[in-house]
Amino acid sequence: MTPSAIPVKRGPCISWAITLEALEAASPTIVGNAAYDALIARCAIKAGATVLLTWNVKHFMRLGSEVARLVKTPAELLRL
């Protein structure tokens, strides 16, 4: 699984509905472990995260502009 930081404000954000939404929102070409990236990204959005912290930037950038604007590496976060 991709190391990511997801601040959750209202308790756990994983539900079957969110899982299904994340997988449906991901491109049909995203399969295998990339499905976990899609789920992490959807939870970050649902939780209202302002940053999705990861070293695997490329994995998250392919999930669309809503996700891409959140993605930062730890090094980028330190420069903010």
More confident residue, 6 or 58: 58
pLDDT recorded at residue 15: 73
Select from 22, 18, 26, 21 the least CA-distant residue to 63: 26
Report residue 68 CA to chain centroid gap.
9
Residues 9-58: tens digit of each pLDDT: 444 556 767 777 777 776 676 777 788 888 888 888 888 899 999 999 99
β strands within 4-58, DSSP E: 52-53
∠ CA 36-15-51, nearest 5°, is 55
Taking the C-alpha atoms of residue 35 and residue 72, their distance in angstroms, rounded to an integer, is 19
Single pTM value for the model: 0.67
DSSP H or E segment with residue 69: none
Phi-psi region of 69 (alpha: psi -120 to 50; beta: other; left: phi over 0): alpha
